[in-house]
A and B are shown apart, each in its own frame.
Chain A
């Protein structure tokens, strides 16, 4: 029995799809191919951007045109990526397809998949992980202390200071005529909770189309939409004109309750997400149920 168990362990350990021990210092990080916008952002944050040789299409910050594109983070091309001769492939948790990742590993190119947790501490952990892989851990600690920790502490202070959580729904936009809302387990769910808001769409998991009736029941006081969704719908007015949104408390006071945010800055869970969460937290205030339609103007002058 025992040897068989060992064989299984060896097989599992050798399996290319299992997450390799992430967050260990890479042998050689002089030429990095990056698959994931937040990772590119973090490498810039660490001041190591000269090591980047190629990025994916979600890496639009801070300099969208500087590096060759290796395609969408979920649809990488193994040969295209390897043609940039990277010594390290640094990828987001959802990098793929698995076959391409397996092919790169088989060919002996180190691939590191950076874990993602959708919280403020998760962002710090991600920055530390990338820093460790790039052998910049000491520098990173100072940078985090100076630039990121203050934001995390500010969010924590707000959390203890505020009573009541504003009710918000996060949308990607409209698809086939229905708003696509963020349920549990999405990055947007994590963002709303960082911004001290209650996700009113937490009755389902993942990104789902939300019916008019379900949206009316959820009754968000605020609606947060990503820029791209607003552009695709043809403007904020179009989104608000949607029957599912018009009837919500947020839809009745659109000038104050529709918040448009940049998708990658907000949902990438790199350093910028901390800023987005702070901005969102300052825009969102708990609305007393009875006062929802009357007293908003006064409330907004606080803090």
Chain B
């Protein structure tokens, strides 16, 4: 087709699209690849025949009961963190924005630590597997709701107010976490420390299913504000005059990101750097348009987190290392490279 000179201009104009579509397809393939690898590899050697074979065999049960939910959770949490990070960076027009900024992570930590220290009775009961995630999610959403209410009441919900209120709320939540840490006994303190380190090892289907539904439902609206986010890059008043309901956009992005990330980290604990770094990587590959960045971030976030978890649980077999160690060890140097690249 390219050889036909008459068609050349249209091809040149349309060329960006196939290139991006190719890159997006590549990301999808990368996700599929890491998912397959993560399902196939683990501490327990698992020939393909065993996975499909005898249902009573330990291998089969480890696969369906431990490895599969773990990979699913890692993929979902990575995707949700990256999409939320991308949407928030777009909303704040700030490359340093990540879900932690609007209080989700510290809110989840506060909810979790409150449950660990105060909810002793609940944690022993039959609904124990749900108590901690629910408390963490509640903490994440409550802190963000407070941020939203406070910033709209006293600052017309401007970006600067949201940022400042976010910083203050993060500090307050840290005080709460510190206070509970002081009140906790030895065992609670260690439970809390490991929760804060983040791990996908706690995944089981009874908790992953509801969390997956919550994450999907909360993150879905983010994909529909891509165009509005693109217009917002021109400036807030410009976007308003171009027909973007700016206030509603802010509310939607912040609350959806908080709910989605809250549902995810409620199970996994805090996973560092994915929400911050992945959107930048995707912009390198796909350009700045949110119509491409958001789905790209979902794919790459999922792939990277599944890959990081795969490393975390196979490097020290049969033990494992904290997954945040891997994501931060990969993320921080990359971030430095990004900075060096922009300013030669």
Contact = CB atoms under 8 A, between A and B. Distances in A.
Contact of B67 (A69, A75, A79): A79
A75 B194 contact: yes
Given A77-B313, A97-B191, A97-B202, A206 B184 contact: yes
A84 interface: yes
Nearest to B207: A99
A143 B43 CA distance: 37
Contact of A77 (B125, B184, B318): B318
B11 interface: no
B45 interface: yes
Given A84-B318, A185-B185, A79 B62 contact: yes
A206 B58 contact: no
B316 to A, nearest CB: 7
B70 to A, nearest CB: 8
Given A74-B191, A83-B45, A108-B61, A205 B202 contact: no
A106 B58 CA distance: 11
Contacts of A208: 182
A62 interface: no
B319 interface: yes
A117 interface: no
Contacts of B45: 83
Contacts of B202: 97, 99-100
Contacts of A295: none
Interface string B191-206: 1001000010111100
Given A17-B128, A97-B202, A99-B202, A77 B191 contact: no
Contact of B124 (A14, A18, A69, A80): A18
B129 A68 contact: no
Contacts of A71: 316, 318-320
Interface string A49-62: 00000100100000
B124 A107 contact: no
Candidate in A74, A103, A106, A185 with the most chain B CB atoms within 10 angstroms: A103
Interface string A90-125: 000010111110110011100000000000000000
Contacts of B246: none
Given A82-B58, A102-B204, A77 B43 contact: yes
Contacts of B67: 79
A133 B189 CA distance: 30
A288 interface: no
B43 A94 contact: no
A207 B67 CA distance: 36
Contacts of B313: 77, 79-80
Contacts of A31: none
A194 B66 CA distance: 43
A74 B194 contact: yes
Contact of A15 (B43, B128, B199): B128
Nearest to B322: A75
Interface string B97-131: 00000000000000000000000000111101100
Contacts, number: 113
B317 interface: yes
B39 to A, nearest CB: 12
A82 B66 contact: yes
Contacts of B316: 69, 71
Contacts of B204: 99, 102-103, 106
A82 B44 contact: yes
Contact of A78 (B66, B125, B185, B191): B66
Contacts of A84: 318
B344 interface: no
B190 interface: yes
Contacts of B320: 71, 75, 77, 80
B186 interface: yes
B187 interface: yes
Contacts of A207: 186, 189
Given A77-B201, A97-B191, A205 B319 contact: no
Contact of A97 (B124, B125, B194, B318): B194
B223 to A, nearest CB: 31
A191 interface: no
A214 to B, nearest CB: 14
Contacts of B53: none
A75 B67 CA distance: 16
B319 A80 contact: yes
B42 interface: yes
B65 interface: yes
A83 B185 contact: no
B201 A78 contact: yes
Nearest to B45: A83
Contacts of B126: 11-12, 14-15
A97 B189 contact: no
Given A81-B318, A185-B185, A107 B65 contact: yes
Contact of A107 (B66, B123, B129, B203): B66
Interface in B114-153: 123-126, 128-129
8 contacts: A77-B318, A79-B67, A83-B318, A96-B190, A97-B194, A99-B204, A107-B66, A185-B185
Interface of A: 11-12, 14-15, 17-18, 54, 57, 68-72, 74-75, 77-85, 94, 96-100, 102-103, 106-108, 185-186, 205-208
9 A-B pairs with the lowest CB-CB distances in the bound complex, closest first: A71-B319, A80-B318, A99-B202, A83-B44, A83-B43, A80-B43, A77-B320, A206-B185, A15-B126
Given A79-B43, A80-B313, 14 more contacts: A54-B318, A57-B319, A74-B191, A77-B319, A79-B44, A79-B70, A81-B318, A82-B43, A83-B44, A83-B45, A94-B187, A94-B190, A99-B202, A99-B203
